[in-house]
């Protein structure tokens, strides 16, 4: 079974309430993937970083988003993860936020996840950044997970 790291935007979009067409589509695709495939066809993992980000947020559905992922295994944030984050930031791979996108990529890479599931298409699921991510990870002997949205996993399955 493939391991999928669940990043913060996934539980957030599961409970998205905005009515703009793009937001509704992302909510629907997230729910379809989670309900139909996610928990049955994939080994889902997340991290305390995701829980902390959700807990700090101020949005309707926050408690539901936290409940959605409460049963997932948490990947430990060990010292090596912090070193990987530092390398990402020093190579301008990610914004200079040690508890944000760089941390999620470091966790998914260090633990060998097959995919990092996200709606963050600016810093994570960004085809223009992927070759740079792969080079930096190869330099550190890390495998780069596929950086995908729920829609992409629906199309694959």
- Asked if pLDDT for residue 137 goes beyond 70, the answer is yes
pLDDT value, residue 101? 87
pLDDT digits (tens, 9 = 90+) for 81-105: 999 999 999 887 766 665 688 999 9
Mean pLDDT over residues 28-36, rounded? 94
The CATH number assigned to the domain holding 8 equals: 3.40.50.1010
In the sheet with 42-46, reading across from the earlier edge strand, the strands are 73-74, 42-46, 2-6, 115-117, 146-148
Q: Which domain holds residue 30?
A: 2-156
Q: Which of 98, 95, 7 is nearest to 47 (CA)?
A: 7
Write down the pTM of the prediction.
Answer: 0.91
Q: What are phi and psi of 3, to 5 degrees?
A: -95, 130
pLDDT value, residue 126? 66
pLDDT value, residue 157? 45
pLDDT digits (tens, 9 = 90+) for 39-89: 788 999 999 999 999 999 999 899 999 999 999 999 999 999 999 999 999
Mean pLDDT of the chain: 90
Q: Are 53 and 69 in contact (CB under 8 A)?
A: no
Number of folded domains that form the chain: 1
Distances in Å between the Cα of 8 and the Cα atoms of 27, 61, 83, 142, 157 are 13, 13, 21, 22, 23
- Asked if pLDDT for residue 127 goes beyond 70, the answer is no
d(CA 143, CA 157): 22
């Amino acid at each position: 079974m493939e391991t999928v790291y669940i990043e913060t935007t996934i539980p957030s979009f599961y409970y998205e309430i905005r009515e703009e067409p793009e937001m509704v589509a992302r909510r629907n695709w997230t729910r379809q993937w989670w309900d139909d495939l996610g928990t049955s066809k994939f080994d889902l993992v997340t991290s305390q970083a995701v829980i902390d980000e959700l807990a700090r947020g101020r949005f309707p559905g926050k408690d539901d988003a936290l409940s959605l992922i409460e049963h997932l295994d948490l990947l430990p944030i060990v010292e090596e993860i912090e070193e990987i984050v530092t390398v990402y930031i020093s190579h301008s791979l990610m914004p200079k936020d040690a508890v944000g996108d760089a941390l999620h990529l470091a966790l998914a890479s260090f633990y060998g996840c097959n995919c990092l599931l996200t709606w963050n298409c600016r810093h994570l699921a960004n085809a223009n950044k992927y070759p740079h991510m792969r080079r930096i990870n190869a330099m550190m002997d890390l495998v780069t997970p596929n950086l995908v949205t729920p829609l992409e996993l629906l199309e694959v399955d």
